[in-house]
Amino acid sequence: MSEQREMKERNPWQTPLTILIAVVGVIAIVALVTVAVLQNKPLIPKFKYGIVLDAGSSHTALYIYKWPAEKDNNTGRVEQTRSCKVKGPGISSYASDPKLAGESLLACMKDAERLVPYERHEETPLYLGATAGMRLLNMKDSAASDKVFQAVSATLQESPFSFQGARILSGPEEGAFGWVTVNYLDDRLSQGLETRGALDLGGASTQISFISDKFDGSESPSNSVSFRLYGNDYNLYTHSFLCYGKDQVLRLALAHQTQSGPGLIADPCFHNGYSQPKNYSVLYDSPCVSSRKPSDAPATFNHTGKGSFHQCQEVVKNVFDFSQCKYNQCSFNGIFQPILQGSFGAFSAYYFVMNFLNLTDTSVPLESVKEALSRYCATPWETLKQQHPRTKLKYLSEYCFSGTYIITLLTEGYNFTSATFSDIKFIKKIKESDAGWTLGYMLNLTNMIPAEAPDAPSCLTPATSLSSQSSRWSSSSSSSSACARCGHAAPRNLRSYKSITVKKKKKRDKLAFVKTSRKLRALSILYHKL
């Protein structure tokens, strides 16, 4: 007996405590190895992602798109999963302090980092497209515009995504990509159905794009964009009117009313009782009106309202030039426009304004819309403020003007009539995705829309390029480069990820290492406690 006890004392493995410690130790090591293995083999997310920043004249918005990862032949539906509104004004407003333009994007970029699964970060393409605000800044001060681009690019380069560049979209691109978005989301392209025209009203420019049987591009090549999608050829009419977005048109209308440099104007487009001092130099600080600044004007004028839709329409008509047209027919300012055809989706400010005015129902006759607008414009400013205490005062004060401009642009400018007004649908979203140029832009740059129908036997169509980064667009207004891409190859424009990706890869590996070591340390602490 005493021999047996002696043996136990000499062999510590026989005590219950050591056995327990040994078992816990083995479990901990197994857990540790499992975690380390899982860490290196993350579950692959089901979707792929793409991000586009819309740097508009009035603000910047970030859109995240996703599509099923397994559908590599580009047949998977792309949809918007999230959007983020950048705080503050558009990037062109940071000309005097460009660094702030870059910083303004940080909050939305952080959001995007959270919303796109970590495993997809480095392969997610990120684009920034700027529109009319930057077009105007570039006209006024190209060095300032370059600095703004440098600042935003520096911020985006630092993100974990695959930044593909920041650039100004041309007017035809903005119009064409808006049209692609609308028709893609409506499934009209993949099904080869009749397409819908696109009407986009921004702050600084406005676009009209539609297919007309009567338009082959020959009458006005600069308004023609042709492309082949899902096996169908499209010859799109598109025009972008710079300075005809609603903010710049307000400047044009005010410039018209302040030609003699008065100290006070009674503006029919603003409400009775409205009164605001305005600065001449601020009003005329835009290439859209700068040449018209009255030379002997005082520093300020008092902008008051007299609330008359009919008189407002007369003022607004003055911003259009109907006096010359060298084609068979024009919209305004001597710009060719074929006869309107088919239905139209009107978005951006068309929607914001008509939605606020409760006038999105276009089955209501045009005359009734005008009567409603007339009543709205005649509402005193004080009454209106009481009725809409939560509406931004700047927006509230401008809805009469904007509504009048929209109706005048559509009818006098583009020639919609009482009969064709109901062909317009005011839209914000189509199936959860915002209507706008961003989705069309990304679909093109990632080659997500095949040129041939997915079941077509081979690819025959060489296509041409609308933009330096694009694939199968041709526009008579831009230089073209030939490309014979077969419909469903892997995205061609997602260029190999170059040096930034190497840098990001290192950062990513380091992060993964830190994460794993943290977990290992936590496990070892647990082990020691046990």
Ligand X SMILES: O=P(O)(O)OP(=O)(O)OP(=O)(O)OC[C@H]1O[C@@H](n2cnc3c(O)ncnc32)[C@H](O)[C@@H]1O
Task: Kindly list the catalytic residues.
Answer: 174
Q: How buried is 81 (Cβ within 10 angstroms: 0-12 exposed, 13-18 middle, 19+ buried)? A: middle
Print the binding letters for residues 141-180 with Ca ion: x by CB under 5 A, - otherwise. Answer: ----------------------------------------
Scored b (16 or more CB within 10 A) or e, 503-530 reads ebeeebeeeeeeeeeebeeebeeebeee
Measuring CA to CA, which residue among 183, 162, 152 is closest to residue 446?
A: 162
Nearer to ligand X, 162 or 348 (CB): 348
Residue found under tokens 């093109």: 444
Radius of gyration of the chain (CA): 30
Q: How far apart are CA 445 and CA 468, in angstroms?
A: 10
Neighbours of 118 (CB within 10 A): 15
Residue from the set 50, 129, 202, 450 that interacts with Ca ion by CB under 5 A: 202
How many residues touch Ca ion under the rule CB under 5 A: the total is 2
Measuring CA to CA, which residue among 280, 303, 302, 304 is closest to residue 293?
A: 280
Out of ligand X, Ca ion, none, what residue 59 binds, judged by CB under 5 to 8 A for its kind, is ligand X
Out of Ca ion, ligand X, none, what residue 58 binds, judged by CB under 5 to 8 A for its kind, is ligand X
User: By the 8 A CB rule, do 487 and 459 touch?
Assistant: yes
Q: How near is the Cβ of 408 to Ca ion at its closest, in Å? A: 20
| Phi, psi angle pair for 90, to nearest 5° | -65, 160
Nearer to ligand X, 183 or 205 (CB): 205
Asked if residue 205 belongs to a known ligand binding site, the reply is: yes
| Residues of span 328-387 touching Ca ion by CB under 5 A | none
Q: How near is the Cβ of 428 to ligand X at its closest, in Å? A: 10
Out of Ca ion, ligand X, none, what residue 447 binds, judged by CB under 5 to 8 A for its kind, is none
The conformation of residue 251, written as its DSSP 8-state character, comes to: H
424 forms bridges with which residues in the sheet? 344
Applying CB under 6 A, the residues found at the interface with ligand X are 56-59, 90, 131-133, 202-205, 245-247, 348-349, 352-353, 356, 395
Q: Is 102 in the site for Ca ion (CB under 5 A)?
A: no
Interface stretch with Ca ion, choices 49-57, 278-286, 467-475, 490-498 (CB under 5 A): 49-57
Asked if residue 204 belongs to a known ligand binding site, the reply is: yes
Interface stretch with Ca ion, choices 25-33, 56-64, 227-235, 331-339 (CB under 5 A): 56-64
User: By the 8 A CB rule, do 230 and 453 touch?
Assistant: yes
Torsion of CA 31, 36, 39, 42, to 10 degrees: -80
Residue 410 amino acid letter: L
Out of Ca ion, ligand X, none, what residue 247 binds, judged by CB under 5 to 8 A for its kind, is ligand X
Measuring CA to CA, which residue among 39, 63, 31, 52 is closest to residue 119?
A: 39
Nearer to ligand X, 58 or 159 (CB): 58
| Phi, psi angle pair for 457, to nearest 5° | -65, -40
Residue 306 amino acid letter: K
Q: How near is the Cβ of 55 to Ca ion at its closest, in Å? A: 9
Q: How far apart are CA 419 and CA 405, in angstroms?
A: 19
User: By the 8 A CB rule, do 89 and 15 touch?
Assistant: no
Nearer to ligand X, 245 or 307 (CB): 245
Nearer to ligand X, 163 or 405 (CB): 405
Q: How near is the Cβ of 61 to ligand X at its closest, in Å? A: 7
Alpha-carbon torsion (467, 468, 474, 475), positive or negative: positive
| Phi, psi angle pair for 109, to nearest 5° | -65, -35
Nearer to Ca ion, 202 or 345 (CB): 202
Interface stretch with Ca ion, choices 1-9, 199-207, 221-229, 339-347 (CB under 5 A): 199-207
Q: How far apart are CA 414 and CA 337, in angstroms?
A: 8
Asked if residue 112 belongs to a known ligand binding site, the reply is: no
Out of ligand X, Ca ion, none, what residue 251 binds, judged by CB under 5 to 8 A for its kind, is none
Residue from the set 48, 53, 56, 464 that interacts with Ca ion by CB under 5 A: 56
Nearer to Ca ion, 347 or 376 (CB): 347
Q: How near is the Cβ of 132 to Ca ion at its closest, in Å? A: 7
Show the CA angle centred on residue 320, arms to residues 269 and 256, nearest 5°. Answer: 50
| Phi, psi angle pair for 257, to nearest 5° | -85, -10
Q: How near is the Cβ of 406 to Ca ion at its closest, in Å? A: 15
Out of ligand X, Ca ion, none, what residue 470 binds, judged by CB under 5 to 8 A for its kind, is none
Q: How near is the Cβ of 93 to ligand X at its closest, in Å? A: 10
Q: How far apart are CA 367 and CA 373, in angstroms?
A: 10
Residue found under tokens 């082949």: 228
**Residue whose CB is nearest to Ca ion in the complex, by number:** 202
Q: How far apart are CA 352 and CA 435, in angstroms?
A: 12
278 forms bridges with which residues in the sheet? 301
Nearer to ligand X, 205 or 223 (CB): 205
Does residue 446 come out as left (phi exceeding 0), alpha (psi in the -120 to 50 range) or beta? Answer: alpha
Nearer to ligand X, 64 or 266 (CB): 64
Interface stretch with Ca ion, choices 202-210, 412-420, 438-446, 493-501 (CB under 5 A): 202-210
Q: How near is the Cβ of 248 to ligand X at its closest, in Å? A: 8
Q: How near is the Cβ of 149 to Ca ion at its closest, in Å? A: 18
Going by the annotation, the residues of the binding site are 203-207
Going by the annotation, the residues of the binding site for ATP are 203-207
Binding site for Ca ion (CB under 5 A): 56, 202
